[in-house]
A and B are shown apart, each in its own frame.
With several copies, the nearest count.
Chain A
Amino acid sequence: MELDDSKDEIAFRDEARRWLEENVPKNALPSGDTQEGFALHVEWEKKLFAARWSVVSWPKAYGGREASLVEWLIFEEEYYRAAAPQRVTQNGIFLLAPTLFEFGTEAQRQKLLPRMSSAEDLWCQGWSEPNAGSDLAGLKSIASRDEARGGFVLSGQKTWCTRGAFCNKLFGLFRSDPTAERHKGLTYLMVDLGAPGVTVRPVDRLDGDAGFAEVFFDDVFVPDDGVLGTVHQGWSVAMATTGSERGLTLRSPGRFVATAARLVALCKRLGHRGHSVDARLRDRVVQAYLDAEAYRVYTLQTVTKVTSGAAIGAESSLNKIFWSEMDVRLHELALELLGVRAELVEGAPDAIDGGAWMKGFQFALAGPIYAGTNEIQRNVVAERVLGLPRAAAK
C-alpha cells in the first residue's frame, strides 16, 4: 500500500496546478447550459486541448497524455480545486469515448476522437425517451434498415438530452428489431444533429437554464459508420458506457472535496461576520466534509482495483448512491448556513457567491435521479453485489 503521490505523480500535479492557476478564468464563466455560456465554455475546452489537458488519460495520438488513472484523479482534484469551468464536453469524453475505445472500429476512433478532444464535435446523450427513463429497455425510437443506402433510418423522440440544444452530435440507443423483446434488438448509433429530419427543441431545467433538449427524428438517415458495435447488440454496448458513467469517470472525488472545502470556508466566513454558526450546523458541516474525504479514499481503493485489472461492475452503484446523496447534503448545509439569503439567486444584489449555492443545490438534486435513479442503484447493489433474489414479479 502506497498512499502518497509518487515522484512522477507529484510532478504531474505540480504541472497541472501551475497551468490551471495561470489559465483558469478569474471570473466564473456564465452557465454552460445557456447559449452564450456554452460558446465561452467551448472556447475554454479548446484552450484545454491546446495545452493537452482536455483528455489527459487518452493516447497521445488523440490529444491525450497517456496519464494513468491515478494521474487522471490528480488532474480532476486540481481542476475542481482551481474552480475551473464545468466541462461541456463531458458527455462525449466520459460516456461515448470509453465505448468507442472498447467497441469502435479503428476508422471510427481516428475519425471521431480527435474531433471530440479538440471540442470540434460536441456530443449529447440520447438515452431517455418520454416513457423510458430508468427503464431503458422500454425504448421505442426506431432505426429501420435501409440496405440500399447502407445505413439506418431513424424515427422517434429522445428527451432530457443534456445540453442537446447546443451540441452538433448525438449518440443513443434505437430499436432496430421491433420484434425482439425489451433489451434485445437495440442498436447503438451516432447521429449528426445537422442531418435532414432532425428537430431539436430546448427544454429548460428547473433552474431556468436550457440544460435539456428534446430531439425528434423524422426519417433521419445514419450511414453504417454511425453504428457503434454490433447491430442489435446496443444494449450490451450501452451498459459498458453506463458502468463508466456511474463509476469513476464522471464523478471524480475532486469535485466533492472542493465543494466541502468551500462549505467549510463559507462556515468560517459567516461565523466571522458575526452571524454565529451554531454548533449543530458546524458538526453537520464536519460530517459532510468527512463524507467527501471518505469518498475520496474509497475511490482511491477502487482505482487501484481497476488498475490491477479488476472489473468494478455493479459496485459502481455504491459510488453513485454515495456521491449523489452527499452532494445534496453539502448544498443543503450551505443553504442552512446562508439563512435568509439562501433563496437569493443570480441577479440579487445580496446573493452570496452570486447565488451559486442555490444553483448548485438544484443541480445536485438531479444526482439521485439521472444515470439510473438511486432506487434502481440500490436494487443493483442488493441483487448483483449482495446476491439477493429479484422480486417474483419481474
Chain B
Amino acid sequence: MRFAFDDEQLLFRKNVRDVLTRVFPATQLRQAWTSEIGRSRERWKALAELGVVSALVPEAQGGLGMTELDLVLALEECGRVALPEPISETAAIVVPLLRELSNEAARGLLARIACGAVIATVGFESERYVESAHFADVLVLQKGDELHAIEGKSVRLQAQRSVDGGRRLFSVEWSPASATCLARGEEARRVVAAARDRASLALAAELVGLARCMIETTVAYAKVRTQFGQPIGSFQAVKHHLANAHLEVEVAAPMVYRAAHSIAHGTAARSMHASMAKARASDAANAAARCALQVHGAIGYSFEHDLHLFMKRAWALAGAWGDAAHHRARCADVIFGTNDL
C-alpha cells in the first residue's frame, strides 16, 4: 500500500499549474464570462502541447497512453483556476470513452483529438444540457442505447444561461445517422456507464481544486482584513469556519485520488468510488463557498470581487453529473445490497 503520487505525476501537475498561470491569469476569467464564445483555442493549444488533452489517448493514436491517475491532478489544477474550456469533457470523458471502442471512427477521432485539432464535448440524456456545445468540433451524444459522434456544425443549439457565466450550456437538437454511430446496444450502454463514472471523477477533481482556491483566498483575506482592531482571522468563529471547510476538502481529496486509481486499474468498486468522490467533493466545494462568502462579508457579495466567479462554478459543478444526494443514493444501493455497483 502506498497512497502517494509519483514524481512524474507531481511534475505534470506543476507544469499544468505553470502553464495555466501564464495562459489564464485571473483577469482572463472575467473575459471568459463576458466574451461571446467564452473559450480560447490558444489556451487549448497550450494545454494540448503539454499533453493534458492527449494524456489518455493510446500511444498508437498519438497520445501519451497515461491513466486517469496521471491526469487527475491536472484536472484539479484546471478546477483551481475555474478554467472554462471543456478539458474534462474532452480529455477525461470523451477520450477514454472512444478508447474503449474498437471501431475505426473512434480511433480516427482519438488521433484528431490527440493532436489538438479537435475539441470534443459530451451529451447524455440524463444530463439534459451539453457544456461547450458551441465551441466543440465534435459532440459525442447519446440517444437511447445509441452513441453518436456529431460534427459541431450540424447541430442546432439553444443556449441555457447558467449562474456560472463561465459555463455555456446548451440544449442540442441533432439527427442520428448510421454514419455517425459510434456504438449501440450493450456496448453503448457499457461505455456510457463508464463515462458517467469518469465524469464524476473529473468534476470531483475540478471541485477539489475550486474548493482549495476559495479556502486559500479566504485565509489570505482573513489575515489582512481587520475589524475591531484585529485581523478577522484571529477570531475563533472565523478560525473554526475555515478549519471546518479545510477539513472537508482535505478529506475529499484522497477520495478523488482513490477513485482515479480505481478507474485506472479497473477495480470492481470503481463506480462506487467515483460516486463517493463526487458526493464528497460536491459537499466540500459547497462548504468552501459558503465559508468563503461568510468570512469575506459584503465585499464577497459584490460582483467586482472575484470570489463569486469561483462560488458560482462550485455550485454549478457540484450539481452537474449528479449532486451529492444522487451519488449517495447510488452508494446506498450497494451498501444495502440492492445493487452491485
List residues of A whose CB falls within 8 A of some B CB.
1-6, 9, 70, 128, 131-135, 137-138, 159-160, 203-206, 208, 212, 264, 267-268, 278, 280-283, 286-287, 289-290, 293-295, 297-298, 300-301, 303-305, 307-308, 315, 318, 321-322, 335-336, 339-351, 355, 358, 362, 365-366, 368-370, 373-375, 377-379, 381-383, 385-394
Distance A369 CA – B163 CA, assembled complex (angstroms)? 21
Which residues of B sit under 8 angstroms from A362, Cβ to Cβ?
163
**B interface secondary structure, majority:** helix
Distance A360 CA – B294 CA, assembled complex (angstroms)? 17
Contact A343 B162 (CB under 8 A): yes
Given contacts A345-B163, A392-B230, whether A289 and B335 have CB atoms under 8 Å apart is yes
Q: How many A-B residue pairs have CB under 8 A?
A: 253
**Smallest Cβ-Cβ distance to A268: which chain B residue:** B336
Contact B171 A349 (CB under 8 A): yes
Partner of A290, one of B246, B276, B298: B276
Instruction: From A5, A342, A385, A388, name the one whose CB has the most chain B CB atoms within 10 angstroms.
Output: A388
The verdict on B25 contacting chain A, using a C-beta distance below 8 Å, is no
**Smallest Cβ-Cβ distance to B245: which chain A residue:** A386
Closest-CB distance, B102 to chain A (whole angstroms): 28
The verdict on B235 contacting chain A, using a C-beta distance below 8 Å, is yes
Q: Chain B 193-210, CB within 8 Å of chain A: the 1/0 string?
A: 000000000000000000
Given contacts A1-B261, A128-B298, A286-B335, whether A358 and B1 have CB atoms under 8 Å apart is no
Contact B4 A305 (CB under 8 A): yes
Closest-CB distance, A129 to chain B (whole angstroms): 11
Contact B2 A2 (CB under 8 A): yes
Contact B301 A343 (CB under 8 A): no
**Smallest Cβ-Cβ distance to B237: which chain A residue:** A375
The verdict on B331 contacting chain A, using a C-beta distance below 8 Å, is yes
Contact B303 A290 (CB under 8 A): no
Distance A392 CA – B4 CA, assembled complex (angstroms)? 39
**Smallest Cβ-Cβ distance to B304: which chain A residue:** A203
Which residues of B sit under 8 angstroms from A341, Cβ to Cβ?
128
Q: Interface size on B (CB < 8 Å)?
A: 83
Distance A373 CA – B316 CA, assembled complex (angstroms)? 26
Contact A308 B328 (CB under 8 A): no
Which residues of B sit under 8 angstroms from A345, Cβ to Cβ?
161-163
Contact A322 B251 (CB under 8 A): yes
Contact B164 A343 (CB under 8 A): yes
A–B Cβ pairs within 8 angstroms, 21 of them: A70-B1, A134-B297, A160-B298, A203-B302, A206-B303, A264-B336, A290-B328, A300-B1, A321-B243, A321-B247, A340-B319, A348-B162, A349-B160, A350-B129, A355-B161, A358-B163, A369-B297, A379-B240, A382-B233, A387-B219, A389-B234
Partner of A318, one of B5, B129, B160, B250: B250
Apart from A286-B328, A389-B230: 14 A-B pairs, beta carbons within 8 A:
A3-B3, A3-B258, A4-B1, A159-B298, A206-B308, A294-B251, A297-B254, A336-B325, A343-B319, A350-B128, A350-B171, A358-B163, A375-B235, A386-B219
Contact B240 A382 (CB under 8 A): yes
Q: Chain B 1-14, CB within 8 Å of chain A: the 1/0 string?
A: 11111100000000
Distance A300 CA – B251 CA, assembled complex (angstroms)? 11
Which residues of A sit under 8 angstroms from B46, Cβ to Cβ?
none
**Smallest Cβ-Cβ distance to A291: which chain B residue:** B251
Which residues of A sit under 8 angstroms from B237, Cβ to Cβ?
375, 378
8 tightest A-B CB contacts, nearest first: A204-B303, A382-B239, A206-B308, A388-B233, A381-B243, A378-B243, A348-B161, A375-B237
Given contacts A290-B328, A382-B240, A390-B234, whether A340 and B129 have CB atoms under 8 Å apart is yes
Distance A280 CA – B233 CA, assembled complex (angstroms)? 36
Distance A386 CA – B231 CA, assembled complex (angstroms)? 14
Distance A287 CA – B238 CA, assembled complex (angstroms)? 26
The verdict on B127 contacting chain A, using a C-beta distance below 8 Å, is yes
Which residues of A sit under 8 angstroms from B294, Cβ to Cβ?
368-369, 373-375
The verdict on B80 contacting chain A, using a C-beta distance below 8 Å, is no
Closest-CB distance, B298 to chain A (whole angstroms): 5
Distance A3 CA – B171 CA, assembled complex (angstroms)? 40
